[in-house]
Each structure stands twice: as C-alpha cells, then as structure tokens.
C-alpha cells in the first residue's frame, strides 16, 4: 500500500471539524490502509485536501500525535508512524485509548527516573528539605481533600523531592516528560479526579523520605505509580470515567 493509496480511505469531513474528528479520521485511514510502524503517512497537503480541512488543522492534529509519540517527523522526508494505531470498537473513544497508551509508555520511562530520584532524595535530603517535603505533602492533601485543583500543589511536592536529590537534571527531565504529553481539557487524564487513589500514598512517600529510609521510599513510589497505571488501564480498557 503506497502512502498515496492510503488517501482512498479518507472522505471529506462534513464540517471543518478540528481536533478529535480529524485524528479519528486519520486513525481509521491508518487501520484500513494497513499502515504499520515505520510506514510513511501521506503529505499534510494531501491529507488536508482529502478531508476538506485547512493544512493548519492537519498540522495541529499531527502535532498532537507527535507529542504522544505516535508519529515521528523527519525534516525534508515526511511523517512516519512510530506506534501502533488501531481504532476503538467499544465505548472508549480512539483518542482516549491512544492517549492512555502513550501515558503508559511515558510512565515506563518515568518509573526508572522516579526510582532513582526518590532514592537519592531520601539519602541526600537535609533536615530542612525533609521538613519542606512533609509540609508540601500536607498542603497537597488539603487541596485534594477539599476538592480543589491540586496540580500546582502536586508539582511543588514532587519538585521538592527532585531538589532534594541533589541533581537538578532529574527535575528538568521529569517536567519535560510531562510537557511532552500535553493533555487537552476534555481528556479524562487531565481531569481533577484522575489519579485520586494515589494521593494517600503521597503521605507514605513523604514519611519514608523524612525517616531517611530509601528502600521504603522506592517501594512507595512504585506503589504510587502502580496505582496510577491501573487507573489508566481501567479507562482505556473499560471506559471508566476520568
């Protein structure tokens, strides 16, 4: 199947739909055309013309997929698939499933980094840093339990752990990983009730760092990540609301 032949599986969208509708159409094209990892997608201008949308709309959609690690752009060469794309046949929208799968790939990398940074923070933290980590955990849990937006407090808590590790590169890498996987406001993975089951475990993590117990701290961060992974899988497999 040539990349031009793949276009035969697209039809013009009835309206100039942005975002999800375009991505759903592209996912269906990829599946029906039998495109696999390493295959090149049709040019942006061809995709835009066939779908009846502007090239900027296609570029926005592909930027989203690039952030999810689904495609890879090669300057002057084209756009290639770098992850499996399969449309959803059940209750879970295709983009929710693709986003969830990308989150799981991200968490695999994050687990390796978090294990190391938590161990180093537990060993290297000064008494003042241990007190600050505990204080920020208290503030985070107050926001969560009050039902208020908690992301700023969560970033502050984890940022204090990164700082305590003694290596600022950990924080930069982990923040960049989060930014690479931008989640839209309608995403169940961006909702304030996503990941709530993991928050009581944050207290255990703070306590392990305060107690200077690196083995316990590593065990706790893995338990925390396991909890978030289970929720991601529940959403993409069973359509659990985020």
Q: What is the pLDDT of residues 84-96, one digit of tens each?
A: 888 877 677 888 8
Say whether pTM exceeds 0.85. Answer: no
Q: Which one is the CATH code of 3-81: 3.40.50.1980, 1.50.10.20, 1.10.10.10, 3.30.360.10?
A: 1.10.10.10
Taking phi over 0 as left and psi of -120 to 50 as alpha, with beta for the rest, 239 belongs to: left
Does 1.20.120.530 match the CATH number of domain 94-238? yes
CA 111 to chain centre: 13
Low-confidence residues of the chain: pLDDT under 70: 1-4, 9, 11-19, 90, 180-186, 239-242
DSSP 8-state code for residue 52: T
Q: Rounded to whole angstroms, how far apart are CA atoms 242 and 23? A: 21
Contact 51, 40 (CB under 8 A): no
Burial class (CB in 10 A: 0-12, 13-18, 19+), 166: middle
Candidates 8, 14, 5; CA nearest to 52 is 14
- pLDDT for the residue numbered 241: 45
Both tokens of 142, joined, read: 């107050």
Q: Rounded to whole angstroms, how far apart are CA atoms 213 and 91? A: 44
- pLDDT for the residue numbered 134: 98
Residue 194 dihedral angles phi and psi, to the nearest 5°: -80, 130
Q: Give me the residue spans of the domains in the chain.
A: 3-81, 94-238
Burial class (CB in 10 A: 0-12, 13-18, 19+), 26: buried
- pLDDT for the residue numbered 192: 77
Contact 39, 81 (CB under 8 A): yes
Both tokens of 13, joined, read: 């969208």
- pLDDT for the residue numbered 79: 94
- pLDDT for the residue numbered 186: 67
pLDDT tens-digit series, residues 63-111: 888 888 899 998 888 999 998 888 877 677 888 888 888 889 889 999 9
Which residues touch 144 (CB under 8 Å, ≥6 apart)? 150, 153, 196, 199
H helices present in the chain, as ranges: 3-6, 20-33, 44-51, 55-67, 94-124, 127-145, 151-164, 168-180, 199-210, 214-238
- Residue 193: how many CB atoms within 10 A of its CB? 11
């Amino acid at each position: 199947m040539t990349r031009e032949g793949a276009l035969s599986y697209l039809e013009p969208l009835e309206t100039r739909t942005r975002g999800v509708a375009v991505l759903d159409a592209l996912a269906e094209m990829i599946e029906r055309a039998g495109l696999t990892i390493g295959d090149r997608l049709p040019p942006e201008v061809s995709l835009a013309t066939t779908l009846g949308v502007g090239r900027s709309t296609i570029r926005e959609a592909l930027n989203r997929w690039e952030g999810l690690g689904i495609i890879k752009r090669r300057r002057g060469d084209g756009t290639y698939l770098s992850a499996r794309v399969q449309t959803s046949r059940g209750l879970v929208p295709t983009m929710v499933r693709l986003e969830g799968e990308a989150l799981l790939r991200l968490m695999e990398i994050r687990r390796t980094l978090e294990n190391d940074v938590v161990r180093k923070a537990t060993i290297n933290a000064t008494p003042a840093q241990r007190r600050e980590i505990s204080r920020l955990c208290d503030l985070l849990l107050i926001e969560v339990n009050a039902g208020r937006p908690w992301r700023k407090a969560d970033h502050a808590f984890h940022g204090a752990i990164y700082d305590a590790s003694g290596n600022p590169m950990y924080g930069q890498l982990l923040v960049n990983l989060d930014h690479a996987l931008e989640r839209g406001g309608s995403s169940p993975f961006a909702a304030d009730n996503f990941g709530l089951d993991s928050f009581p475990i944050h207290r255990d993590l703070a306590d392990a760092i305060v107690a200077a117990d690196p083995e316990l701290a590593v065990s706790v961060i893995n338990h925390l990540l396991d909890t978030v992974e289970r929720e991601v899988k529940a959403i993409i497999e069973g359509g659990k609301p985020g």
